[in-house]
Amino acid sequence: MKSERLIMTQQGHLVRRRAALIAMPAIGALALAGCAAGDSGDGGNSDGKVEFSLTYATSNNLESPFEALAKAYEEANPDVTITLNPVPNDTYGDTLRTQLQAGNASDVIQSEAGSGQTRSIIPLAEAGFLEPLGESATALIPEGGDSLFVVDGETYGQPLVLQYTGLIYNQTTADAAGVDEFPTDWDGFVDLCADMRDQGKTALLVAGAAAPNAGMLAMNIAATRVYAENPDWNADRIAGDTTFADTEGWKETFQTIIDLNEAGCIQDGAVGGGFDVLTNGITSGAGLGFFGPLASATELLQAAPDQDFVAHAFPPAESGDPAVGIASPTYSLSITKASKNKDAAADFLEWVSEPEQAGLFAEVSGGLPITGVEDVDLSDTLYAPVEDLLKEGHFTALPNQSWPTAAVYEALARGVQGLLTGQDTPDSVLASLDAAWEQ
């Protein structure tokens, strides 16, 4: 019943390549907002006004989908004021932790499913920073996803969308450069890199100085090199049946990063690049694409509404092997334990869970229905090139969502940075990942 309801309400709210998005409110791929407000438990004050705060991660100055929700809520509820406090994405996790430990975090925060990041729901709930949520949040958890949102029978995060994470590709730039079709294997991708270099462009943009993007590069390659062969690799690692060092696919992943760099696939100076390198590079035509959540494409369309962006998966090593993408429940909302405005925050989350708002967030964030994606027509959306991949189940959850601590992902990001500078080798990165896992 839960699945059917979401399919029906969100089917009409998928991101079209251009026209539908430019008509929507402005957005930002990684967002929410926060700063504590009000003194009463229900968010009300003496003049009848209701206040609460929202915190989220942002990678630019465009409006986020969380801002769009907040504005819509305030319009529907004129007595409510929501204080929005965006935090740069590359410092969001550490900033959030500091605020939570100090007891001055926002009432509502952007959280992430699972346990692999500093903003992840499971460790934050286990540390006592989050408030249990109601049945409307629990009802949105995809089948089999309880371990990403639930601790000791209580739900601590409200999932918002199923997010595809892959190569965000500028089809307009590719067409202008004479690229007939996206490569289907490694050799074809290297040929594309050489062609782009000849034209003064690069195939792949990497924000090497931003840990989230450095790690994202490795996880997208690992989808085809590790999880295509063993979808249960995370479970095997948790059980102690394998390690990073013992997995040839992970070693191949890190060697592939070195090979990409040496083949000129990645822009010069990538290790020092921030998120602005991605957005500026892809919209200016300097690069064909970068790895990230497809929500980023909705931001790009606001900056470059005349350009056409689509999704791809990193090509497999051999022609004929299936490409494997990444699709997971990612964006979520949580209420902080220290909030003095829990009732007001809970009312907001209840409203967000309703069909109209769920559909709005899916559309403006570039997300997919949280369940039932196999029943959705994606042929005229950003996801058209990966429609078969999604409907045939050739995707894995975001790998780090079920890693034991954020330290493993931090080690992954540092390792990628070391590979780009030549200070690390695949073996040294593998060893650092296993060490971080065992901490």
Residue 302 sits in a domain whose CATH number is 3.40.190.10
Same domain flag for 298 and 315: yes
Would residue 377 count as lying in a domain? no
Q: Distance (Å, rounded) from C-alpha 281 to C-alpha 399?
A: 27
Q: Give one word for 329, left, alpha or beta, with left for phi > 0 and alpha for psi -120 to 50.
A: beta
Place of tokens 């769920």: 358
Would residue 172 count as lying in a domain? yes
- DSSP states of 211-245 as a string? HHHHHHHHHHHHIIIIITT-TTHHHHHHHTS--ST
Would residue 118 count as lying in a domain? yes
Cα-based angle 358, 119, 368 (whole degrees, multiple of 5): 30
Same domain flag for 51 and 117: yes
Q: Distance (Å, rounded) from C-alpha 206 to C-alpha 268?
A: 10
Same domain flag for 205 and 283: yes
Taking CA atoms, 41 is separated from 38, 45, 132, 340, 406, in Å, by 8, 10, 15, 5, 32
Query: At which of 371, 396, 426 does a domain end?
Result: 371
Contacts for 91 with CB less than 8 Å, ≥ 6 apart: none
Place of tokens 């049945």: 135
Would residue 378 count as lying in a domain? no
Q: What is the pLDDT of residue 6?
A: 27
Same domain flag for 428 and 355: no
Q: What is the pLDDT of residue 133?
A: 98
Nearest to 126 by CA among 113, 140, 115, 137: 115
Q: Distance (Å, rounded) from C-alpha 37 to C-alpha 57?
A: 19
Q: What is the pLDDT of residue 44?
A: 62
Main-chain phi, psi angles of 223, to 5 degrees: -55, -40
Same domain flag for 171 and 277: yes
Same domain flag for 204 and 216: yes
> What's the DSSP call for residue 36?
-
Q: What is the pLDDT of residue 15?
A: 45
Q: Distance (Å, rounded) from C-alpha 151 to C-alpha 423?
A: 40
Would residue 73 count as lying in a domain? yes
Same domain flag for 400 and 323: yes
Same domain flag for 350 and 424: no
Same domain flag for 291 and 345: no
Q: Distance (Å, rounded) from C-alpha 230 to C-alpha 215?
A: 20
Q: What is the pLDDT of residue 13?
A: 37
Would residue 314 count as lying in a domain? yes
Q: What is the pLDDT of residue 90?
A: 85
Same domain flag for 146 and 113: yes
Q: What is the pLDDT of residue 354?
A: 86
Query: Which pair of structure tokens corresponds to residue 266?
Result: 């990645």
Query: At which of 340, 371, 402 does a domain end?
Result: 371
Would residue 248 count as lying in a domain? yes
Q: How many domains does the chain have?
A: 2
Q: What is the pLDDT of residue 112?
A: 92
Q: Distance (Å, rounded) from C-alpha 355 to C-alpha 276?
A: 34
For the chain, list residues with pLDDT below 70: 1-47, 60-63, 371-372
Q: What is the pLDDT of residue 34?
A: 30
Q: Distance (Å, rounded) from C-alpha 206 to C-alpha 266?
A: 7
Would residue 38 count as lying in a domain? yes
Is 54 within 8 Å of 66 (Cβ atoms)? yes
For residue 421, give its domain range: 164-327+386-437
Same domain flag for 299 and 417: yes
Q: Distance (Å, rounded) from C-alpha 29 to C-alpha 92?
A: 14
Q: What is the pLDDT of residue 60?
A: 66
Same domain flag for 245 and 131: no
